[in-house]
Amino acid sequence: MDRRTFIKAGLAEYAALALPVLGGCGGGTDVVVPGPAPGPACGRSGFAMGLSPATTDMLAQIAPRDAVGFSAAATNVAVSALPSPSYFDLTDGELLGRYGFPAGMVPPPSSQGNLSSCVAWGVGYAAMSFMRALETATLAQTVDNQASPADLYAKVLAREAGNGCGNGTYVRDAMDVLVDTGVASLREVPYSDSQCVRPAASARFTLDGYHRLAVADTAAIKSALSNFNVLPFGMQVYPDFQALRGNLVYQHAASDRGCPLGGHCMALIGYSDERAAYRLINSWGSDWGDRGYAWIGYDTFARVASEVYAPYLQSRRGPDTFVESDSAHSGGVSALRAYSRPWRSDASGKWATLYFSFLLDDAMVLTGYKLYFYPTNREPVELGGASNTQVLRGSLLECELPDDLFMRTSASGYFVLNLTGWSRTRQRVNLAIFSRFPDPNGR
């Protein structure tokens, strides 16, 4: 059940759904592959960058997209069996028009100047501005509708103890700020590369959560992009990338690893199978690349990128099958919304995938989750779970279902998500979020 399906069907209430924070229901082994190990740096970068690359341990704490599903032998099944289209570009006005959206939801390329603030530009200005435009049906073409990279950079520096103006930052910390705190608009906090500002009280731009993707998982990255997501990523930059000009596909030979210039954060906005490349937006101004954009080959991306993330912002207008209960409140955190729906496989016609989304009234630090089906008048069935450590306010969970689930239980009851972790006031949180099945409204 991807957003392209609902958008084509004209169901506007689904237009702002995003891909999951919690990538699957499984507890299988998740192997984290570290980014490229560059050789000694050579020369000085011609452009400012500022990425502090995530460590393997940091990546392991973030919920993945490719978690194992219900059984150890089966991988996570996409919500929709529809394959990703061969081409998708969030700046292509004609393509967006087919889905009922205007061009202009991605902000225009701009420049970070001489400040090492690329993470704030890739995560905040590019990805967050787009997500809010999608949710609010606005265009990210004015400073009122663009997240301030200056405010995000200031808040990330404040979050990273001991860090200071002019230094690089972590993508994860920027994502956490957007979930936990939020940032001001570019009109409220203008950007200048000659100074760092104080964090603003404004929080107009917020996320509900995020998850990571494997840099070599082209299918998952394409699926995320074609489901209307802008994906922040970090990569190792080489001189040939800085020198890129025109509408070319950037390719960096696997054998050429001798001259890295440092880490840089940007955002993916599309892809083309014909070109075997992703489309990206940079923060080096419109004179670089193709007017501030560029193409990067799938294979090259898998080699030079170290991390890529999908932000999550849940629609407040979509269906809701949440059931109020005492267990939906714990540690000062309460569940506000939930929706569950199983989907059949297009190939076999059997139940294949569960879609479960939820929204909390405040951010929490998640440490673990489990998902159950409570059939009417029968024993509950555990569907899976995992342990992670990350900040979230909401999530969309995809989980593989055993095809005989509703044969050995009743076909009605509740899907229940158990979340454990900590509140922002350090209270222990143990929530059980009930979602009625089937949907009494027939959706």
DSSP string of 9-46, one letter each residue: TT-GGGTT----SS--S--S--PPPP--------S--S
What structural domains and CATH numbers belong to the chain? 41-63+84-312 (3.90.70.10), 322-437 (2.60.40)
Report CA Rg, the chain: 21
- Give me the percent of the chain exceeding a pLDDT of 90: 61
User: Cα–Cα distance between 335 and 364 in angstroms, integer?
Assistant: 11
The larger pLDDT score, comparing residue 53 to residue 259, is at 53
Per residue in 202-236, pLDDT (tens digit) is 999 999 999 899 999 999 999 899 989 999 999 99
Q: State how beta strands 249-250 and 293-297 pair.
A: parallel
User: Cα–Cα distance between 106 and 129 in angstroms, integer?
Assistant: 7
User: Cα–Cα distance between 241 and 35 in angstroms, integer?
Assistant: 17
Rounded alpha-carbon distances, angstroms, from residue 87 to 10, 66, 160, 321? 21, 22, 38, 35
Contact predicate 168/50, CB 8 Å: yes
Above 50 in pLDDT, residue 117? yes
Q: State how beta strands 413-423 and 381-400 pair.
A: unpaired
- Give me the percent of the chain exceeding a pLDDT of 70: 83
Residue 22: which of 291, 266, 360, 294 has the closest Cα?
Answer: 360
Above 80 in pLDDT, residue 258? no
Q: What is the mean pLDDT of the chain?
A: 84
The pLDDT of residue 30: 36
The larger pLDDT score, comparing residue 261 to residue 63, is at 261
DSSP string of 121-158, one letter each residue: IIIIIIIIHHHHHHHHT--TTSGGGSB-HHHHHHHHHH
Above 70 in pLDDT, residue 152? yes
Question: H or E segment at 386?
Answer: strand 381-400
Per residue in 289-345, pLDDT (tens digit) is 999 999 999 999 999 999 999 998 887 777 889 999 999 999 999 999 999 988 877
C-alpha dihedral sign at 176, 181, 187, 188: negative
Residue 123: which of 264, 226, 296 has the closest Cα?
Answer: 264
Contact predicate 345/81, CB 8 Å: yes
pTM over 0.85: no
Rounded alpha-carbon distances, angstroms, from residue 67 to 27, 71, 75, 295? 7, 11, 7, 28
Token reading at 435? 């979602």
DSSP state of 402: -
The pLDDT of residue 159: 94
Per residue in 324-335, pLDDT (tens digit) is 999 999 999 999
The pLDDT of residue 355: 83
Query: What band does 395 get if pLDDT is binned at 50, 70 and 90?
Result: confident
